[in-house]
Structure formats: C-alpha cells, structure tokens
Chain A
Amino acid sequence: MREHELELIAGLAEGSLEDESEARTLIDSSAEHRREYEAQLLAIESLGSVGVPRMSDSERSRLHRDVWAGLRSETAPNAPGVPWYYRWAPIAAGLLVVVGVVTVLGQLGGEEAATQDLTEAAGAPSTTAADTAGAPAGGESEEPTAGDDGGVATPLDARSTLLYAGEAERLRESGGEGSAFGAEQDDSTAIELSECLADAGLTGYRAVGTIDDPASEAVATTIAETLLPIITAIPEGEELPAATIAFVDRRTCELVYLDG
C-alpha cells in the first residue's frame, strides 16, 4: 500500500479529511484497504476511550521531595567540582573547636564538667535528636518520640549542638528571619514539608520555615554551610518566640535537633 493511500485511510479514520470521497472509494476498492481502515479506526477509537492519568497527591509530593533531594545533593558544597580543601575545612574547624573547648574545660574540672558546660552554653534546655529517645522534650503529648517512625539522626557533636542552639536563639529573637517561607510557597511544598515532619516523628508540629539559602545574611555562615537543608518546625498553636524549635534534615526527613 502506498503512503498516500495510507494517509487517506488514516485521515478518514481520524475524521480529519475535508473531502472523504476519494478515501471512501479507496476502502471500497479492495479488502486490504478495508482492513487497513478498520484497523486504524479500532486503534483510534480504543485510544480515544482512555482517560488522562494523574499523579496522586502522595506521588506528587514524593516526586517533589525526591527531585529536590537530588538537586540539593548535586549542588551541595561537597559536590564534584568543589576544591578538596573546601570539603574538609568545616570538619577540621569543628574538630579544632571541640578539642580546644574540651582541653580548656578539662583543665578546669574534668570531662564531666566540660560536657555540662557545653550543654549550658548551648542555651537553655536543649535536646539533640539522640536525647529524644523515649522521652518527649517539654512533656507535651504532641512532642515527638523516637518510637515514631521518623528517623533519628546520629548524635550531634558539641559544635553542631552549639550551632543549632545558637540558630534557635537567633530565630526566636528575629521572629524567623532567614528561615521564614517566601510568599511563593505553594501547596505541594507545604505537603512535602508536612510529610517530612511526619516522617521525622513530629506529629503535632507545623513547619515555620526552611533554611536553604547560603546567601542569606541572616543565617549564620557556619550553619548555612554545614547544616543545609533544614526545615524548622514548632508545635501547633505555639508562637516562635516561646516555642520548642525542631530542626529537621529536609533531605532525609530526620530530626536532627530539638531546642527548647
């Protein structure tokens, strides 16, 4: 069968011909042409009966979360192309600080005293993810517990504890500057954050912001470089200045620090 004939027959089946007489003559001329027409018609009608597939809300949320996790891992400071010393500088600096602090405090009163002082220096009652195991901070029923299906990160080192505690204090004082949502935050982002908090075991919490802009002058350079990306959340019904602040890793949806 020639291409022109096939086009005519397909056009007739599609209903896209202005003048159908030539095509109708053609399909009446032989059984082969008639069979071709019937095949085209059957396929078009069958395909026409198919609906439009849509993503479910959970699929859409998962897509967004996975894409953003992928993008963050590709654009993170330790992605390929970043000088090697840049990857190790924050770790080396952290180790130096920890060694220095422990040495000084150890001289004053031993290791135990050093640990206590670090906790106090971190700001009022603060809790790392490891500390939340089985004991809700603040005693409220809405507080997260390690028994939830949310992930619990590895214990933070002293420097990270100080950074998070400092960031929590800064957020309370500034009313969330550097962490608040932009006006453009959409429903899918809200769903993503909400599911991430649930994954972290933070039921009864609401996200109040994200820390994912290294260029933000409001966020401490150290925390922006080392702890991205973070979701900040507080218990429902509480206001930021007086609330417990939870820090959740947006890539893994694990609770990394609970302050307050």
Chain B
Amino acid sequence: MTTAAQDAELLARVVAGDHEAFNQIMRNHEDRVFSVCLRIMGHREQALDATQETFLTAFRKAGQFRGGSALGTWIYRIAVNTCYDQLRKQKRRRSEPMPEHMDPSDHAAEVALEAAAMRPEIQRALSLLPPDFRAVIVLSDLEGMALPDVAEVLGVPIGTVKSRIFRGRRLLAEELRNQNP
C-alpha cells in the first residue's frame, strides 16, 4: 500500500471514530511538528502548546482532508498556521522576545535541549525574522523540506518561497553579524 493510501485509510478511520488511528498519526508526525513549532516559536512551552493545538485541529478537520497533498504536508500547514496565530496573539499582548527556555526542574528536557544544540545566537537571530521569512527558513533550511513541499505547506508559489529563503538568509546573516560584530 502506498503512503498516500495508508494516510487516506488512517484518516478514514479517524473520521469513523478510531482513536488508535489518530494515535498513530500523532506518533508519526509529533516530533517534526514539535521541531517546526519550536523553531518558529522559539520557546519550548509555547511550542508544546502549538503542537497540541495542531493535533486537535487536525482531528477536528480530519473529515475535510481531501488527499490533494500528503498527510504530513497537511499537518505541517496546520502547525505553521497555528504558530502564526499564536505569534499574532503574542504580538497583541506585546510579550517579551521568546528565548528558548524551559522549566528548570525538567532535567530530561534540559538534556534534550543540550543534545539538540540549538545555539542561542541562531535562535535569537531566527526569532527576529518576520514570521513569513522565519517559516520558510525553518521548513527549508532546518527541516530540509523540498521547495515544492514548503510551497504547499505555506500555500504560496515556489517563486515566493525561493525569494523568502534568499531574503530570510540575508536578514539572518545580518542579525548574526550584529550579535558578533
């Protein structure tokens, strides 16, 4: 059975009320969704919230999935849009910049972060990019997604994706240089 057929079957089971099918979808995609959210949000707690909301939204909209794209692409689109929504809410609340921190009591998470070696200066520079540019950089340069997939996740033409990648990298380089003149 092809991946697309497996995805379609899984979603059909979810729509029919099979919670184990949804559990399997979560297991298949939760790490990457969390990674995308963390890199866009820059904050583990908020990334976890966004990941949770992503899967709740996916469950609610499972019946609307038409199979025009891969299931993963559809879920990452929900994830990016969820992150955009949360960033907009934060902007309205004028919250402070988003350092990637975590509950200090969560030692396991600390170890995981160290293993991830997300360099703070890069995370900081990334968080200063406009969200549209940040998203393409995260999906393309950090998550290694192909340009057509990035275009599909973001719902923009490939030309726009390329343009945002080039400009986003340029801005990122400027921020990095500003931090280490």
Contact = CB atoms under 8 A, between A and B. Distances in A.
Interface stretch (A19-27, A62-70, A113-121, A169-177): A62-70
Contacts of A44: 141, 169
A141 interface: no
Nearest to A14: B141
B85 interface: no
B142 interface: yes
A234 to B, nearest CB: 24
Nearest to B35: A53
B166 interface: yes
A43 B138 CA distance: 12
Contacts of B34: 53-55, 59, 63
Interface centre among A48, A49, A67 (most CB of B within 10 A): A67
Q: Which of A50, A57, A66 has the most CB of B within 10 A?
A: A50
B118 A50 contact: yes
Contacts of B119: 46, 49-50
B76 to A, nearest CB: 15
B35 to A, nearest CB: 5
12 contacts: A3-B159, A6-B166, A40-B166, A43-B168, A43-B172, A43-B176, A47-B141, A50-B119, A53-B113, A58-B109, A59-B48, A68-B19
Nearest to A1: B166
Contact of A46 (B23, B122, B162): B122
Interface stretch (A100-108, A122-130, A181-189): A181-189
Given A56-B109, A70-B56, 7 more contacts: A10-B162, A50-B116, A54-B34, A56-B112, A59-B34, A59-B109, A71-B56
Interface residues of A, number: 41
A51 B31 contact: no
Interface in B146-164: 159, 162-163
Contact of B31 (A40, A54, A62): A54
Query: What are the 8 closest A-B residue pairs judged by CB atoms, nearest first?
Result: A43-B169, A56-B109, A39-B173, A51-B117, A56-B108, A53-B116, A51-B116, A42-B173
Contacts of A58: 106, 108-109
Contacts of A49: 117, 119, 122
A40 B10 CA distance: 41
A55 B165 CA distance: 27
Contact of B174 (A3, A39, A50): A39
B82 interface: no
Contact of A64 (B26, B109, B162, B170): B26
Interface of B: 17, 19-20, 22-23, 26-27, 30-31, 34-35, 38-39, 44, 48, 51-52, 55-56, 59-60, 106, 108-109, 111-113, 115-119, 122, 125, 137, 141-142, 159, 162-163, 165-166, 168-170, 172-174, 176-177
Contacts of A142: none
A34 interface: no
Interface string A120-163: 00000000000000000000000000000000000000000000
Contact of A71 (B19, B112, B125): B19
Contacts of A188: 27
A43 B170 contact: yes
A42 B116 contact: no
A87 interface: no
B169 A10 contact: yes
Contacts of B166: 6-7, 10, 40
Contacts of A236: none
Nearest to A60: B30
B52 A67 contact: yes
A31 interface: no
